[in-house]
Structure 1
């Protein structure tokens, strides 16, 4: 019997990406899709690239019979997700793609998201969803909080290095470029073609970007003391992809060796030969991370570059990876499709 799957917020980019990935999954069947403004429409009319699929129509959340569902992907906006998940049956497995359960400390959530958390019991239950580092916890979890796409990219580059004590914790810079789909599908003036194309700009400058909350939480826990990185994201005139250039103080050869060892058995993380650096064009549409290490001209300085697709490995692919574990499936099921090139 296939696992019965519902996707809440299916009319957004991450919802559509989940449908694309689940369409060929051998043991998962989509039985419900929800939307707000687009409720009542067919998924194929909202996303014509999915019109060949036999999918349920989009409905309001309260029209879904959750007793017939095994796992829910929740791809709703931040802040609204808490009350929705709080209203779901307590035995229902949930993979949340919003930011509402990523931060373990309610005070940290209020700091970064500007409002108190309204489901703190669930927040305490949630497992952080960076699969490669929380695999055992995710396998046993009922509620998994997927990471931010920027936060995932920076962590793939840095977690093994911080854990091994190979970099100066007070001298880490993450310079990150991200495609526009990370901003969601809602109309925004600054995302119009005439406003965005032919240019690149920084945003969330000076330590105010919300994904810093995840960096603070995860890196500090790894190091056993407070770690605050410098992080500046930039919006690219591209649909998909994240490229993070991470500047650290440490031995480049030792850093490359540690990353190679740490990810040797990971099916979705590829560490490139020393001196080679990745590109977003080589991970587009795939659930893969490419990591490269280059030595700086100054001794004891290294540059670590990470590339992933923000909608796949940074969001919906990561969510499916987690769901596979939660439902007792092989972690790679439905996710080994090659990236799209060119």
Structure 2
């Protein structure tokens, strides 16, 4: 069995968020937070705002198009109608471009179901500001307004972020990269009717948390194949029932986050799952590296999975050596990254050769 660990390492590096956009995603929410915190027409409470969504959970991939910002409000807002609170936030944000005073002036683009969207045209970047009432503390479920349902609904994104981080730590830091691989797979395989990123996160989270997919001493190739196989098995009964779609439960509150998944979209998803599972199983069973790479390229795209990795391996080994992330195993192999088995760490290197 070929694990192609180097190829998957390169793939994961390729789908990491762009550095410049990640920096912008980090900086702009702080400016918006400061503006809203100081505004007299809206009463915020500590911590005033918090990043949420995939960027905050480190599960974002490639070009970051948007971030979610929770605007933490006083509990008195819970007595107001959701529409009224959303309109208040929309009104307050009207002065944001002038307050920021930069060339990247945001434009208030639209009211959304549970948030107000701020669009930064120069960077083609969106910030979704979600009003959230803090009733029992920031570490407890929050109440957010739902315009369509005309009521307040509970959400617990910060609690989920903590649980995901905990699960990732218990499983050799493999859960978050696995989520990223699944998201990238979705982007490659599906142009339309794509399942939402959060649905995919929850799917992977539950598969790892309930033990259906175990990570110990497994490489990403096998892990990804197991995820596909588990989804195919778990959703098969729903697929065979006319008009049925599966539920995907929120890890914190237990509600069905995929309540609006349409049957046609679910059927498309399952066709892609079955097709990719066939390629993945053949790739893992393949003894010829070139053929295995070709099969994985069908799964993740030719641009994602490199044919040649030696140059990338050398660059990564150099970077790991400088950072002190090189280890020697009991078998005498030189390896990099976090180790599950006992290994001796090579001291960080600072020798660059003779001048």
TM-score (norm 1): 0.26
Higher Cα Rg: structure 1 or 2? 2
Higher helix share: 2
